[in-house]
A = this chain, B = another copy of it.
């Protein structure tokens, strides 16, 4: 369970209790949720309950207009790596950032992303925290992430070497005409660090906060899962749903129960 999914109802501690009530023993928390309860207490709860932390959300956001701004972003990523290590997270998810300031130069932004990851990678390796580049849907290219296809993320992985892989979120990649080949490539490179699920609603009423529950949209979750598992990946599927006007308004228990039911029905 990515704890963004239950953000509307629960903070970190409540979410853990709620997940455990429904048999969910793996979580992926966000930095603000951990900060709210305190890193030490969050780590204690994780250990005390034997939870798996499938990812920590999130690092990234590397581009900035000035060298000083980029260094501040790198410093923040160092702290995110330390927090991920303290939680024993499987990976630190990177949402890499978009165009800085008033820039229209997306190639330059992409260069800043490569430079930023290269700058934090030695510390990530030393800390035992794999970095998971999450290619985001092209509709986020301007303001959230200028890495927009799985192949582009894999090119970055090849460039950067060991210690960095990809988080494959169906919401971001389902449309890609080259998806099957790109997933196979990710598998051959042994770079798949996370598999996120939700659904694409028709119509989608908000670019960021209108993701759907699995089964309510058009993504063939079983087909994508089959592609990913054909590579040998056997990790969990992580449910990550941003849904301001629907799921974030419901009780947390209803959200988690529905996630479990739908996972069984349309993605397992």
Contacts and interface: CB of A to CB of B under 8 A. Distances in A.
A268 interface: no
A114 interface: no
A152 to B, nearest CB: 5
Interface string A166-178: 0000000011110
Interface stretch (A16-24, A35-43, A139-147): A139-147
A218 B142 contact: yes
A140 to B, nearest CB: 9
**Residue among A138, A152, A207, A217 with the highest chain B CB neighbour number at 10 A:** A138
A143 to B, nearest CB: 5
A177 B154 CA distance: 12
A28 interface: no
A129 to B, nearest CB: 26
Contact of A204 (B106, B203, B207, B220): B207
Contacts of A203: 143, 207
A134 to B, nearest CB: 15
Given A104-B219, A202-B143, A152 B177 contact: yes
Contact of A149 (B141, B177, B200): B177
Contacts of A138: 137-139, 175-176
A241 B204 CA distance: 20
A99 interface: yes
Contacts of A217: 142
Contacts of A106: 174-175, 220
A77 interface: no
8 contacts: A104-B219, A106-B220, A138-B175, A141-B174, A142-B218, A143-B202, A146-B175, A207-B207
Interface of A: 99, 103-106, 110, 137-139, 141-143, 146, 148-149, 151-152, 174-177, 200, 202-204, 207, 217-220, 223
